Structure 1
Amino acid sequence: MKCVDDFRLRLGSTELVPIVIGGMGVDISTPQLALTAVRMGGIGHLSDAMMMATADHYFRKHFSRDKMRANMATMGKMDKSSVHFDLGALAEATRLHVSSAMEAKRGHGLLFINLMEKLTMNAPRETMQTRMTAALDAGIDGITLAAGLNQSSFHLIQDHPRFRDAKMGIIVSSARALQIFIRRNAKLNRLPDYVIVEGPLAGGHLGFGMDWAKFDLKTIVAEVQAYLKKENLDIPLIAAGGVFTGSDAVGFLENGAAAVQVATRFTVSRECGLPEAAKQAYLNAAEDDIEVNMQSPTGYPMRMLKNTPAVGQGIRPNCEIYGYILENGKCEYIDAYEREIKLHPEKDKLSVKEKVCLCTHMRNYDVWTCGHNTYRLKDTTRRLEDGSYLLPSAEHIFRDYQFSKGHEILLPE
């Protein structure tokens, strides 16, 4: 019987333990969490979601405050088309976060950053180019493109001196999405170094419709493998979404996947950036406490705990401070908030049930996104005398994935 450690992921000349920790934002995948994977010989991801707010926290900067002051004129208005990010500040925040993590890097693994195309920031091309360029400037080992088809993302950095040096990959949920990406970038003569195939049991935003339950990761992986073989493309495939045990991982590795990406089990690690209350909520969750809904203003379905604190709140759109999902001055939460104002003009406090203000609530850790298998987390640790659960270390979880067999899960001491 094999374990994950019997396999290796090869990216160019680099040989790695085939375990990738996903880039969970906002700073849920902290540098401490990501660097644990690096130290253990795998791949860890930072997330660039709300990078300026993250830099404020780590480096005592005032990027968010300065953005608010620069956009005060739109406070209370529903048209946010004039709200923009200072691209110099955005680049500085990214460089600070990435360079700090790279300086702390130890071990033979790689540190990547997850960049979401859906963070349009009222200037999708300009901000995406700034974020990618700054991460490369700061020395990041690789960039994973997420939350979108990313058809033009490679083009934005084709002139960067590290364009062919750094590892570049993309997350897809179908062979069709990968085909579109490769066809769009054919003239660059630059294939992705890896492709992460994410299935419908993943946490957070899904690359499916509300019919997600009709799909399964094994089938999608096989379809992507068939496409790569047909096109004679030698691109490592990384399976993601619902890989809960080392034996789950081995099943994909034995069937041709080069590695697995995992995240759910690391949400309750000590190194994870979630507050203690959220971690305990995950550990206490039952299967029917988890739902896929359309609360996200991105337009994508999102998996979360039903009792996530953000649902039903009606805070005023906070775009002057954040505004990461703004597109042409609008987002679906603003539209929902405006409808509530018109329906209940006499109310001092609104309740917006259709959407959540993802920027503000993610920043405050009030959106409890999660993977389908979150209800199984209680089986990965021990319950303490006070009724709470022991939080394992990221190293313990990583080693359990790496060495466990027979779907066994080693409980922390």
Structure 2
Amino acid sequence: MSMSTAFTDLVGVRAPIVCTGMGFVSDPVLAAAASNAGGLGIVAAAMMNLAELESAVVKMNEITNRPYGVNLRSDAPDLHDRARVMIDGGVRVASFALAPSPEIMAVLKEAGLICIPSVGARRHAEKVASWGADAVIVQGGEGGGHTGAVPTSLLLPQIVDSVDIPVVAAGGYFDGRGLVSALSYGAAGIAMGTRFLLTEESPVPEAMKRRYLEFGVTDTVVTSEVDGHPHRVIRNTMVAELERQGLVSGLRGAATNAAAFKKLSGDTWTKMIRQGLALRREHSYTPRQVVMAANAPMLCRAAMVEGREDIGVMSSGQVVGLIDDLPTCQKLIDRVLHEANEVLVRLEKVSDR
């Protein structure tokens, strides 16, 4: 089964469904599984160093011949080197967690890549569209990870009405009914994070996936104590501790984790400090927020890779409370398309009355 929209035509996939680039989750295995199932898988490269990105692109090309994307941080100091890896590797889509510069989009588009930034506000969508973005992913407040305050049902129609490029809706989607609802607003597809995190191919430890299945729609919280930005996560003891810590103890713990991340990533202190200063300039971060931003990858890795809920942060959308299984990506995408078709048939009968 397939479904044709402006997004599927643009990217060359059969299903208007995106597996978002979740740090430490959307690895080549998960991204390729989503692409092989007919959607668009996006490799999360923001937490990778350059060598890891090169290896990820090589692996993607070995295990899928379908279109796929790579997610980038627009403030990465080696951004142009990363763009070259993507261009040389034949990556189809460049996805951006932060608004890309017009210059880097021009470089990627000139090489034939499709540029799809993620946005959380109408003005941001209008800005990147004016810079040449080919489509946008719009995440409402229900979504996991970095998120805004406006729910998808209010944000989506604003942006659909303000830009003339394909819009992909994110935040609260998990089934075919949601896909049809997004299409009814004028979107050209949906993006899902938490739903793909909870699939068979997801690299998250099995026990951690099972733990996610226990949570309800009210078990998430939006906090700025992870990295300085509003971040929707599962409400657990680690999050409570982050919100309880004072300035001094918070800085000490964040600095310790930043040092551990330096060792893990192979980055130099010079590079990490340069990234921190860039964050401070771009977002007017305080020194504490700069250290928090460096600390955040270790908190996410502890949960998503090591399965340590006690010392980790579990990003999650509110939709976690509506998910009760761990299907393969193929079964998930087929199911969403089948459910969407059933809804459309039912609506057609209603219109005939």
TM-score, normalised relative to structure 1: 0.67
Distance 1:369 1:13 in 2: 27
In structure 2, the CA distance between the partners of 1:392 and 1:41, relative to structure 1 (3 Å rule), is closer
Say yes or no: does 1:239 pair with 2:169. yes
1:19 paired residue number: 17
Offset of 1:302 from its aligned partner?
A: 0.6
TM-score, normalised relative to structure 2: 0.77
In structure 2, the CA distance between the partners of 1:17 and 1:263, relative to structure 1 (3 Å rule), is same
Q: 1:399 aligns with which of 315, 327, 334?
A: 334
1:29 paired residue number: 26
1:174 paired residue number: 121
Distance 2:215 2:286 in 1: 27
Offset of 1:132 from its aligned partner?
A: 2.4
Distance 2:107 2:145 in 1: 33
Q: Which amino acid aligns with 2:320?
A: T
Map 1:245-260 → 2, pairs under 5 A? 245-260=175-190
Distance 1:300 1:264 in 2: 19
Say yes or no: does 1:375 pair with 2:321. yes
2:62 paired residue number: 103
Contact 2:222/2:231 (8 A) holds in 1: yes
Contact 1:202/1:371 (8 A) holds in 2: yes
Q: 1:156 aligns with which of 95, 99, 104?
A: 104
CA RMSD of aligned residues (A): 2.9
In structure 2, the CA distance between the partners of 1:271 and 1:13, relative to structure 1 (3 Å rule), is closer
Q: 1:134 aligns with which of 52, 71, 85?
A: 85
What's the secondary structure of 1:197's corresponding residue? strand
Offset of 1:261 from its aligned partner?
A: 0.7
Distance 2:289 2:90 in 1: 40
Say yes or no: does 1:361 pair with 2:292. no
Distance 1:221 1:303 in 2: 19
Contact 2:37/2:329 (8 A) holds in 1: no
% same residue? 24
1:38 paired residue number: 35
In structure 2, the CA distance between the partners of 1:194 and 1:101, relative to structure 1 (3 Å rule), is same
1:55 paired residue number: none
Residues 196-228 of structure 1 show CA distances to partners (whole Å, capped at 9, x for unaligned) of: 11111111111x2xxx1xx22132221112212
Distance 2:287 2:257 in 1: 6
Contact 1:311/1:356 (8 A) holds in 2: no
Offset of 1:130 from its aligned partner?
A: 2.4
Contact 2:134/2:166 (8 A) holds in 1: yes
Q: Which amino acid aligns with 2:301?
A: R
Q: Which amino acid aligns with 1:335?
A: R
Offset of 1:355 from its aligned partner?
A: 8.5
What's the secondary structure of 2:233's corresponding residue? strand
Distance 1:270 1:116 in 2: 27
Distance 1:163 1:194 in 2: 16
Offset of 1:111 from its aligned partner?
A: 0.5
Distance 2:117 2:11 in 1: 20
In structure 2, list runs of 5 or more residues that go unmatched.
243-252, 304-311, 344-353
Q: Which amino acid aligns with 1:318?
A: A
Q: Which amino acid aligns with 2:176?
A: G
Offset of 1:6 from its aligned partner?
A: 4.4
Map 1:66-81 → 2, pairs under 5 A? none
Residues 297-324 of structure 1 show CA distances to partners (whole Å, capped at 9, x for unaligned) of: 2x21011111164663736143432476
Distance 1:330 1:116 in 2: 11
Residues 54-82 of structure 1 show CA distances to partners (whole Å, capped at 9, x for unaligned) of: xxxxxxxxxxxxxxxxxxxxxxxxxxxxx
Say yes or no: does 1:327 pair with 2:276. yes
Contact 1:305/1:370 (8 A) holds in 2: yes
Say yes or no: does 1:143 pair with 2:89. no
What's the secondary structure of 2:95's corresponding residue? strand
In structure 2, the CA distance between the partners of 1:311 and 1:115, relative to structure 1 (3 Å rule), is farther
In structure 1, list runs of 5 or more residues that go unmatched.
53-89, 186-190, 339-353, 382-390, 408-413
Contact 1:34/1:111 (8 A) holds in 2: yes
1:205 paired residue number: 146
What's the secondary structure of 1:45's corresponding residue? strand
Distance 1:159 1:116 in 2: 15
Bigger Cα Rg:
1
Residues 66-101 of structure 1 show CA distances to partners (whole Å, capped at 9, x for unaligned) of: xxxxxxxxxxxxxxxxxxxxxxxx2x3322211211
Residues 89-136 of structure 1 show CA distances to partners (whole Å, capped at 9, x for unaligned) of: x2x332221121122114xx421011133xx4xxx4x32222222222
Distance 1:12 1:329 in 2: 33
Q: Which amino acid aligns with 1:127?
A: D
What's the secondary structure of 1:361's corresponding residue? helix
Offset of 1:51 from its aligned partner?
A: 0.9
Q: Which amino acid aligns with 2:300?
A: M
Q: Which amino acid aligns with 1:177?
A: H
